[in-house]
């Protein structure tokens, strides 16, 4: 608790002493818990842009300086030196694992990848062209019907089992959704493959011929999952916390997060970037579309630039950009012109005063869709891939919320603008 104090005095002379809470780093937070009790007023903060909704030890963001840290470790260092499984352990347990701890954790994930056979019948009930995110949300929500023996949130062992199941089974569900769309048979997971290798195997292997996993493709997915693993109190993470605060089973809380992520302003942004680049079509058209983006009366918007939190640059974008080079060179894909277009658009925007004044720098979504496309992953699966990476962040936040003794059910208030009290009029008198 900080020694600072804020004092709020009402026109009627009511005064409230507002305590200031300090984290280890980042801005102080004014505790307004007593404000309504003392003065009968609420705060108003649409979108919660100036509201700290909880305490957390997981992720720190400094949007002004372009800093992102998981448990105190800069994301750049983790992306360079770690793996997604190791980062998952870090997010869930707070510390980097020893060799033995990592081996045990990795083994637990590998051994939980199969789905209950009864769940596979669910996929036959979906239309062949059902969106993979709809399938993912529905199937994850149904897991509580299959794994209800270990859903006691107060039991540490049950919380661990749940975390292992979510991490392990989500790729299997995602791959099954892809296979449904493709009209191909489901492919079972393999315990001898690592996390991303197994996902590629389930996505692209077919019974008719052997499938060779490209190590660059696995490396690219691993990097993308690390960079998407958590991002503080974003829309989907806050949704998981809010759903979980009611005591709802953890699978339903994660399913709620998946549904929130599906929105085009959140997880669907990388798909929107690809659509934008295809609309621009050629480097010669960039200036035209940049001017369209500046025109308030034109519906066109440059997707993949700017971020709600980052006011300088998104530290994840630079890392992904380098991986994009690596993937396209290795895959020798025809998508290279699209990447060239993206690079040129980035340079034009960075030199334009309009974008510089508004801090519209490339974000994590700008290049990720190009990588997914180069790997053969269709746009309908882009948000699903986001969900696979973010699943560990959701789980870590759910665990943190559940064990917090000061936790309360989420219950925001509102500024009511509707009619005042009025009497009911019988239908014949209206």
Decide: 89 and 105 in contact? Cβ < 8 Å. Answer: yes
CA distances from 268 to 109, 207, 265, 335, 365 (A): 27, 32, 6, 20, 9
* Residue 288, CA atoms < 13 Å, CB-side half-sphere: 8
CA distance 57 to 403: 13
Structural element, H or E, at residue 243: helix 235-245
Number of H helices and E strands in the chain, helices first, is 18, 6
The residues facing 17 across adjacent strands are 7
CA distance 236 to 228: 12
Place of tokens 């993937």: 327
Identify whether 365 is a catalytic site residue: yes
CA distance 413 to 429: 35
Q: Which of 112, 201, 231, 266 is catalytic?
A: 266
Identify whether 397 is a catalytic site residue: no
Q: Which of 112, 201, 228, 307 is catalytic?
A: 307
Q: How many CB atoms lie within 10 A of CB 421?
A: 4
CA distance 313 to 72: 19
CA distances from 400 to 244, 255, 406, 410 (A): 11, 18, 11, 15
Q: Which two tokens stand for residue 204?
A: 């692209």
Count of residues making up the chain: 430
CA distances from 22 to 25, 39, 56, 401, 412 (A): 8, 24, 12, 19, 23
Decide: 55 and 31 in contact? Cβ < 8 Å. Answer: no
Catalytic residues: 266, 307, 365
């Amino acid at each position: 608790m900080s020694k600072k104090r804020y004092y709020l005095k009402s026109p009627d002379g009511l005064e409230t002493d507002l305590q200031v809470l300090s984290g280890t780093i980042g801005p102080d937070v004014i505790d307004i818990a007593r404000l309504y009790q003392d003065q009968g007023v609420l705060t108003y903060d649409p979108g919660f842009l100036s509201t700290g909704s909880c305490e957390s030890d997981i992720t720190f963001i400094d949007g002004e300086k372009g800093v992102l840290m998981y448990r105190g470790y800069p994301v750049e260092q983790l992306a360079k030196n770690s793996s997604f499984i190791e980062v998952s352990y870090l997010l869930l347990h707070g510390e980097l694992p020893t060799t033995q701890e990592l081996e045990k954790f990795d083994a637990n994930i590998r051994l939980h990848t199969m789905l209950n056979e009864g769940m596979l019948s669910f996929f036959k009930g979906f239309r062949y062209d059902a969106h993979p995110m709809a399938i993912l949300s529905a199937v994850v929500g149904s897991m509580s019907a299959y794994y209800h023996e270990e859903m006691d949130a107060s039991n540490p062992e049950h919380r661990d089992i749940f975390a292992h199941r979510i991490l392990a089974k989500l790729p299997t569900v995602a791959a099954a959704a892809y296979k449904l769309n493709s009209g191909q048979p489901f492919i079972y997971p393999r315990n001898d493959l690592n996390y991303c290798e197994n996902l590629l195997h389930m996505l692209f292997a077919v019974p008719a011929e052997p499938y060779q996993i490209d190590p660059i493709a696995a490396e690219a997915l691993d990097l993308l999952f690390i960079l998407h693993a958590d991002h503080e109190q974003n829309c989907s993470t806050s949704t998981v916390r809010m759903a979980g605060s009611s005591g709802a089973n953890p699978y339903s809380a994660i399913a709620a997060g998946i549904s929130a992520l599906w929105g085009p302003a959140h997880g669907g942004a990388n798909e929107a970037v690809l659509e934008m680049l295809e609309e621009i079509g050629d480097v010669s058209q960039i200036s035209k579309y940049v001017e369209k983006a500046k025109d308030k009366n034109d519906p066109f918007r440059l997707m993949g630039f700017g971020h709600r939190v980052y006011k300088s640059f998104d530290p994840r974008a630079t890392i992904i950009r380098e991986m994009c080079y690596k993937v396209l060179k290795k895959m020798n894909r025809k998508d290279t012109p699209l990447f060239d277009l993206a690079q040129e658009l980035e340079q034009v925007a960075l030199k334009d005063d309009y974008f510089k004044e508004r801090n519209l720098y490339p974000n994590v979504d700008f290049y990720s869709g190009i990588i997914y496309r180069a790997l053969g992953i269709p746009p309908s699966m882009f948000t699903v891939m986001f969900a696979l990476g973010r699943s560990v962040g959701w789980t870590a936040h759910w665990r943190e919320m559940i064990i917090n003794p000061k936790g309360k059910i989420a219950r925001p208030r509102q500024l009511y603008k509707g009619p005042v009290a009025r009497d009911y009029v019988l239908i014949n008198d209206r």
